[in-house]
Structure 1
Amino acid sequence: MAALVIAAMTVLRLVYASAIELRTDEAYYWTWSKETALSFLDHPPMIAWLIRFGTAIFGDTTLGVRFGGIVAMLVTQCLLADIVRRLTHDARAVALAVLMPEAALYYGLLMAKVAPDVALVPFAVAMMWSLVRLAQSGDGRWWLAAGLFAGLSLLSKFTAIMFAPAVAAFLLVPDWRGRWLRSPYPYLAVVVAIVVFSPVLIWNAQHDWASFRFQGVRATTNYGISLRTIGDYIGLQFGLVGFVMLPVVLLGLAMTAWRGYRTREPVAILLSTAVLVPFLYFFAKSLTLRVGDTWPMFMWPVGFAAAAVNLAMLPGEGWSARMIRSGIFWVNIAVVSGIAFVVIVFLYYVAAPWNLLGKMDPIGAEAGYEQVAARAQAALDETGATWIATTDYRTYAMMRWLFRDRGVPVIEINERGRFQDFRDPGMDGIKGHAGIYVGREPDNHGPVWDSIPAKREPLAQVERRWRSVLIDTYALDKLTGWTPELSPPKDSPLFQWRVLAGEFAKRELS
C-alpha cells in the first residue's frame, strides 16, 4: 500500500511539475544553471546543478527544471526508509517514515518546486544516514561519508550549518566521546566537508565574501518583536508540515530527545537535536523577522524518521496499550488527512478555475508573466528594439525564461552584484540598438534611474492577472541612447548588492 501511494503521489508531482508555469525564483535559479560560475551571490551552486541535471534530460521545460526535485524526494524517502529499518526492524515504522513526507505539503507537492532547500534535503538526510551507520557499526570511516554529505549540504544551502549542534551532541554527549575525540576520523570528516564546500569558498574569496555578507543580513536583521511574524511562522509549519502531522512529529521529537539525553543514546540525540535546535532558532527569529516558508524545510524529514522510530519503540518501553493505540490512531489520521490535503491543493492549482486567496495566493502571486512577455514581444516588433531591460531580478528571470527560445537578450540593468561571473548576454546585439524596459509599477520610477542616462519613451501598460485577479501592473518603455554596463564598480548604485540585501529583509517583513 505504501508503495502504491508513493507511486501515485510521484505521478501527481510529475503532473504538477509539467502543468504549472515556473515561479520567479525557479526561473531565477534556472538562469544560474546556464552559467559556469563556481557559486552565486544568493546561494551556493547545487540548485543550479540540480536543474542542469533535469534539463539535460527533458530540455528547458518546466518538467526539466523541476525534475531534480522529484528525484530528490524519492532519494530522501529511500534514505528515511533505511534509517528507520536499521533502527526498528519494523516494516510498519518504515512505511510510516516514507508516507509522512507524502502527507506534508512541503514534500508531497512542493518538492516539485525547485529551491535550494529542495537540493539540500536529500544530502542532509544522507548525512544523518551516515551517522546512523556509524553508530551501528562503530566503523570510523562513516565519519568520512558524513563529511562528504555535510559538504554537499553546504553546497546546497548555508542553513545546513544548523545541523552542527546535533552532530556535536552526537559526538560529545554519549560515553564514546573519548574514543572519537582521539580518533582522526571526525577531524578528517571536517576536512572532507571543507574540500567539498571549497567552490563556494573560492568564489567568495574572489568576490569580497559577498554571499556570506549578503546572507548575514537575514541572520542579524531585527525590526522589533512582532506577533504577526510569530503567527506566520507557526501557521506556516502547520500548513506545510500538516495540521495533525506537526503536533505528532513534535511530540515524537520531544520523547526522542528525552530518551536520548537521559540514556545518552547517540542516534536519539542526533535525530531530536537536528530538528529541535533549528525549530527553536527559527521561532526565535520569527519574533522579529518573517521566516521564509522553505527555510525550515531541511529539518522535517529527520523529524519524520524520529517520530516513526519513537512509535515503534513505545511497546518495548512499557507504555500502556491505550497510549500505543492512541499514538497509532493519531499518526494514521495525520497521514490520511495530510495526503488528502496535498491532493486538494494539487487539484486547486492544476484543475480548479478559482482564486480563493486573491493576491495572497503564493502560486498565483507569481503567475501571469506570459501576459507581460506577450506585450513585450509586441513592443519589440513595433519599435525594432533588440533587447529587454528590467530593474528587479524576478522580472528579469521570468523574461529570460519566457524569451529563452527567441534569441532576445534580457538584462537586469541594476543589482549587478547578483550576476558576477555571468556570461556575456550578447552585447553585440545591444550596443547601438534600442531596448524595451519592462518594470513593475511603481518600481519603474525608482531612484536607480538617476544613474542611467538612457532616454525613456513610454509605450504601454500591461496587467498581470491570475484567474481574473489583478496581481501587478507593468510599464513598458523604449530605451535609446544608452548601453547597459554589465560590470559597474562595486560602489556604483547599479551594483548595490549590500543595499539590496537590506531591502530583501525589509520586503520579507512586509
Structure 2
Amino acid sequence: MSASAPSSGLCFARPELATRGALAVIAALLAWRLVLAAFVPLVPDEAYYALWAQGLSAGYFDHPPMIAFFIRGGQMLVGDTALGVRLLCVLSAVPASWFVWRAAEETLDHPGAGALAAVLYNATIFGFLGMTLATPDAPLALFCAAMAWCAARLVRAPGPFWWLAMGLATGLALQSKYSALMLAGAFALAVLALAPLRRQLLTPWPWVAALVAVLVFLPNLVWNGEHHWQTFSKQGGRVTAQAAFRPLFLPEFVGSQIALATPLIFLFAVIGLLPRGARAFRMRAGWALVLILLLVPLAYFAVHALRGRVEGNWVGFLYPLLAVAAAAGMLAPAPARPGWLDGRLGARLKRATVPLALGLVLVLGLYALFLPVPLGGAKDAVLRMTRGWPDYAAAIDAKRREIGASAILTNDYQLTAMLKRQLPGVTVQQFDERARYAFMNEPPVLEQEGPLLLVLSSYRSLKLIQETFGDRRDVGEVSRHFGDVVLPPVRLFRLGRAVPPAPIPAPAAP
C-alpha cells in the first residue's frame, strides 16, 4: 500500500510516529481510566461482584469466576477500595490493546494498521468503559482480543504454538463469560470455511487446542454439575425463542452499538467488512476471518433482538475485532472508480474519527466524575447507579435501629450488594434468590433473630414474604437523593420471626 495513505489523526506515512502517537494516546487513556476508577463510586453490579471476591469459587450463580479473581487481585494490591475493585480490569486494557494491535498487523496491509486499530479500540465507549468497570466484560474482552490475535496468526502462519495459545485464550474467555462460546463457534466455522485453517484439521493441533480450552474451562463445568447447572440455566433463560415477535428491539440494538462504538468508528467498521474494506487486508482469508468472527455472533444478536432486548454490553467481546474492521475501513485504498469516501468529505471523516471518539470519552468521563447537571433526572443512568448511596444506606440503617431489627432483608441483588458495602457490620441478606450467595458463609435467612427490617424495592417477592412472616408492619419508605433529584422510594416493613412451615400430615392408617 502506498505511503500516501489517508490521514486519520496519526501519521501513517511514518510508522514510527504512528507507534509513538498511539502509545501516547493509549497511555493517556489508561491514566484517565485510573482516575475514574479511583474517584467514581462503584455501581451496584461492581459491588455485587466484589462480594464474589470475598469467597472465591469455581463458579457463581450468574457467571463464571474470572471477574472475582480480577477483583481479589486488585484488592490485594491497593485494598478494598473503588480503585482496588477495578484495578486489574483497568490494567487489562494494556494487554488487550497489544492483542488488538498485533491482530491488525497480522491481517491488514499497512505498517500503521496496528497502531490505528489499538487506538480505535480504546476510543470506543465500550473499549474505554468496559475496561474500567469491574464486570465480567473486562476479562472477557481481554481474552477475546487474545483469541482474535491467535486466529489472525493462524490464518497467516499456522503452527502448534498458536493453536495451543488459541485453546488457552478460549478457555480463559469462557471462564470470564459464556458469550465467549459464540466467538469460539464462529472461529470453528472459519476453520471449516477457510482453506489455510481447514488444512490444519489433518494435523492434531486444532484438536489439542479444543482439548486445552475444555480443560481450562473444566473447573466451572464441574462446579455447575455440582450445583444443578445453575449458571447454565440462568444464562440459557435469556433465549427468546418463545417470546413474542417485537422487532422494535432491533433498531434499539443497532442504535446502542452505534453509540458504544461512536458513530464514525461504527461507520468505518461497516466499510471494513464490505468488499471495499477487503482491499486493506494482506490476504483475502484475513478479511473473511474477520467477517466470519464478527457476523456470526452479530447474526445471533440480531435474531435475539427481534423478540427481546439486547443489552449494549453483550456485544462488547466483539469490539477488538470491530476495531480491526474499522482500521480496515479507514485504510482501504481507493477503488478504480473513487466514491464519496475518497473525496474531501471522506478525508474529513477519517481525520475526525479518532478526535471525535476521544472527545466523547473525555466528556463521558468528566460527567461520571463530577455529574454537574443530571441530564435525565431520576432516569439518569450515571446518577442512578453511582450517587446518593451512603446517605441512603444510613437512612435505612437508622430505621433498622429505630425498630430494633437484627438484620436487613431485601429482594434485589444490587440493593443487597450496595447495602452490604455501605453498612459493614450490619447483616444484610437477600430474602429470595439465595443461590446467588452460596459462596458466602451466611446463616439461613429464616434463622435470623427477629424483628427484621425488610427493604422492598419491588413487589416481586411479596407473596413469599406474606407466607413466611406472619407479623408484618409497614414502617414507611426511604428515597435516594442527589441534589434536587429524588429516585423512586423503597418500602420498609418490620417483620417478626418467620412462621415455621406447616407440618406435612402423616398418611392415614390403612
2:378 alignment counterpart: 359
Instruction: Write out aligned runs for 1:185-196 (5 A).
Output: 185-196=205-216
Is 2:462 aligned against 1:446? yes
Is 2:99 aligned against 1:79? yes
| Contact kept? 1:390, 1:396, Cα under 8 Å | yes
Is 2:413 aligned against 1:393? yes
Which TM-score applies when normalising by structure 1? Answer: 0.86
2:256 alignment counterpart: 236
State the alpha-carbon separation in 1 of the partners of residues 43 and 184 from structure 2. 32
Aligned length: 479
| Compared CA separation, residues 120 and 363, structure 1 to 2 (3 A) | same
| Contact kept? 2:405, 2:452, Cα under 8 Å | yes
Match among 283, 298, 307 for residue 302 of structure 2? 283
User: Displacement of 1:70 after TM fit?
Assistant: 0.8
| Contact kept? 2:456, 2:491, Cα under 8 Å | yes
Match among 446, 450, 454 for residue 437 of structure 1? 454
State the alpha-carbon separation in 2 of the partners of residues 201 and 344 from structure 1. 42
1:23 alignment counterpart: 43
State the alpha-carbon separation in 1 of the partners of residues 349 and 280 from structure 2. 23
The alignment yields a C-alpha RMSD, in angstroms, of 2.9
1:175 alignment counterpart: 195
State the alpha-carbon separation in 2 of the partners of residues 374 and 168 from structure 1. 53
State the alpha-carbon separation in 1 of the partners of residues 191 and 248 from structure 2. 38
State the alpha-carbon separation in 2 of the partners of residues 359 and 286 from structure 1. 27
Instruction: Write out aligned runs for 1:288-437 (5 A).
Output: 288-309=307-328, 311-312=330-331, 314=333, 329-366=348-385, 367-403=387-423, 406-420=424-438, 422-425=439-442, 431-437=448-454
State the alpha-carbon separation in 2 of the partners of residues 377 and 465 from structure 1. 16
Amino acid paired to 1:437: L
| Structure 1: gaps of 5 or more residues | 486-510
State the alpha-carbon separation in 1 of the partners of residues 230 and 443 from structure 2. 26
Q: Secondary structure of the residue that 1:40 maps to in structure 2? A: coil
| Contact kept? 2:109, 2:280, Cα under 8 Å | no
State the alpha-carbon separation in 2 of the partners of residues 483 and 349 from structure 1. 45
| Compared CA separation, residues 268 and 438, structure 1 to 2 (3 A) | same
Instruction: Write out aligned runs for 1:60-209 (5 A).
Output: 60-88=80-108, 90-177=110-197, 179-209=199-229
2:54 alignment counterpart: 34
Match among 467, 489, 505 for residue 473 of structure 1? 489
Moved more, 239-248 or 426-435: 426-435
State the alpha-carbon separation in 1 of the partners of residues 129 and 155 from structure 2. 33
Identity over aligned residues, as a percent?
30
| Compared CA separation, residues 363 and 484, structure 1 to 2 (3 A) | farther
| Contact kept? 1:462, 1:475, Cα under 8 Å | yes
Is 2:322 aligned against 1:273? no
State the alpha-carbon separation in 1 of the partners of residues 322 and 499 from structure 2. 52
Moved more, 345-354 or 140-149: 345-354
| Compared CA separation, residues 431 and 167, structure 1 to 2 (3 A) | closer
Q: Secondary structure of the residue that 2:41 maps to in structure 1? A: coil
| Compared CA separation, residues 294 and 178, structure 1 to 2 (3 A) | closer
Q: Secondary structure of the residue that 1:475 maps to in structure 2? A: strand
State the alpha-carbon separation in 2 of the partners of residues 374 and 444 from structure 1. 25
User: Displacement of 1:264 after TM fit?
Assistant: 7.9
Amino acid paired to 1:473: P
- Give the greater-gyration-radius structure (CA): 2
User: Displacement of 1:455 after TM fit?
Assistant: 2.6
Is 2:68 aligned against 1:51? no
User: Displacement of 1:467 after TM fit?
Assistant: 3.9
User: Displacement of 1:82 after TM fit?
Assistant: 1.9
